[in-house]
Amino acid sequence: MSGKVYLIGAGPGDPGLLTLRGKEILEKADVVVYDRLVSPAILGMCNPKAKMVDVGKMPQHHKVKQSEINKLLVQFACEMPDATIARLKGGDPFVFGRGGEEALELVNAGVEFEIVPGITSAISVPAYAGIPVSHRGIATSFHIVTGHEKAESNGELSLDFETLAKCQGTLIFLMGIANMDFIAQRLVECGKDPKTPVAFIEKGTTPYQRTVMATLATAGETIVREKVTAPAITIMGGVVELGKSLAWKKNLPLSGKRLVVTRAAKQASGITARLTALGAEVIETPMIETRTLECPCVIPAKAGISSAIFDSLADFDLLAFTSVNGVESFFRQLFAAGYDVRVLAGKKIASVGKITEKKLLEYGIRCDYVPEDHTGEGLGKLLATLVPQSTEGATSNPIPQILLLQGNLADDTLQKLLPQATRWVVYETLPVSELPEWKREAVESADAVVFASSSAVENFVKVMPQSIEGSDSHPEPRASNLKPQTSFCIGRLTEATARKHGFETVTSDETTMDSLVKKIVEYYS
């Protein structure tokens, strides 16, 4: 009757290297017990309702001892019948990940478990640095060695240095940067060529990956001079030289950048995929959530609207959509009420911009009107040209009946420009009230934040108050306090709101994701 534990390898850091099986389990997990090296982007894939337990361990500072982690997994399984407990570990659970110890503890307690392998850093990190661990004519084998495990008898590294020194294949040391000077000296003493190429790869597969080259003879002094720190792996052998020609990740335009995307979760995947392909690490941090109303709400309430509200569509000549959310919610309501797109036959369709226009096309609807200025004001001014400015000639040119499809937080810009229009509120926007600690830390360490709406900016300010608000003596926000300071914005209104709160802003030329991504790449070029 106990819960089931899944020992999942999260891979080396890049969220794209998490296995499909691992992602599937994280999305339904009731509890996630995770390590320090697990990427924030992978944590973002977890079930938002899951209990998140940080047992991360730092060198020389074990946040939670391994024995306690073992007991914790058993405890969760026994206390939560039928629950899915995910034990999320960096790399692969069985490659120096102590997954075997955790599995044995589960066996002894009679707890059901499953192993979900992960991509080990031993082969993936060198690959991201352009170093193949094996290569014809250079290395026909590779050997993975722990660099920090010490013998209990004398406290020295439990390594067979004489055998390692004779090895003709690639040597891969996981962990152990603090011991690498000693390891290099012992290998040389045991006969390994001091000119053997060595590479230290820090934070492999993440935006902060760095490769430092040395030789066996200069390994120790290079670590000190270049300030090489954990997490890092060490590669020894002739294949290291190939990294000078094959390094590819560092050439991506957004390599080394962590960007926060604040779009609603269901809309973020598109820009996330584009930014990730360009080398960035993306932290999806939606600031708002949208919920389709069961039925459109008419504002202001008007006489003559049928109780079967979609029957009243016949009264309108033009439907104006002001957002992607408005499009999705309108059609969701329309279909749920038993109608389909045929009720729109003969009606003119207007969109606030290209993104909304594209979404309409997915439903088979082509737009008749799209303003050059992709804002509510631009749309209002365009549609106002269709309305006679006086009652003269109204018989020959009847006033078109306009229906605005909007959210509950839409401002009154459109209705001021189109006072005769009817507004249907088809969805409501709900702000995110708080961020978990792990995500807050990830956001504060980011290089920039991406905003697609003013409401996202406003809510970001609320959930990250210590990063943006000024002090009592300086009540106005100060750019020097922002974490991150830089923002990329879609639209002038979003830009104005970001500037109001002290952000440095970079705004796309057009209100499209393509334009925004192009602007981000140009900024970091």
Q: Break the chain into its structural domains and give their ranges.
A: 4-119, 123-251, 258-287+432-524, 298-429
Q: Which two tokens stand for residue 351?
A: 């969109």
What pLDDT is attached to residue 477?
43
Cis peptide bond N-terminal to 81, omega within 30: no
What pLDDT is attached to residue 396?
57
What pLDDT is attached to residue 58?
61
Q: How far apart are CA 411 and CA 376, in angstroms?
A: 9
What pLDDT is attached to residue 302?
56
What pLDDT is attached to residue 62?
66
CATH number belonging to the domain at 123-251, selected among 3.40.50.720, 3.40.50.300, 3.50.50.60, 3.30.950.10: 3.30.950.10
Kindly state the helix (H) or strand (E) to which residue 355 belongs, with its residue range: helix 354-362
CATH number belonging to the domain at 298-429, selected among 3.40.50.1100, 3.30.420.40, 3.40.50.10090, 3.40.47.10: 3.40.50.10090
Residues serving a catalytic function are 35, 57, 175
DSSP class of residue 305?
Answer: -
Beta bridge partners of 6: 86, 114
CATH class assigned to 258-287+432-524: alpha beta
Q: Kindly report the CA angle at 277 between 288 and 97, in degrees rounded to 5?
A: 90
What pLDDT is attached to residue 440?
87
Q: How far apart are CA 504 and CA 485, in angstroms?
A: 6
What pLDDT is attached to residue 1?
73
Q: How far apart are CA 112 and CA 82, in angstroms?
A: 10
Low-confidence ranges of the chain (pLDDT < 50): 152, 304-307, 393-394, 467-480
- From the number of C-beta atoms within 10 Å of its C-beta (0-12, 13-18, 19+), residue 133 rates as buried
Q: Given this chain, do its domains 123-251 and 258-287+432-524 carry the same CATH topology?
A: no
Q: Which two tokens stand for residue 481?
A: 């306090």
Q: What is the pTM of this model?
A: 0.73
- From the number of C-beta atoms within 10 Å of its C-beta (0-12, 13-18, 19+), residue 500 rates as middle
Secondary structure (H, E, C), 374-426: CCHHHHHHHHHCCCCCCCCCCCCCCCCCEEEEEECCCCCHHHHHCCCCEEEEE
CB under 8 Å to 119, separation ≥6 — which residues? 9, 11, 12, 17, 19, 91, 92
Asked whether the beta carbons of 282 and 41 are under 8 A apart, the reply is: yes
CATH number belonging to the domain at 4-119, selected among 3.40.1010.10, 2.60.120.10, 2.20.25.10, 3.20.20.70: 3.40.1010.10
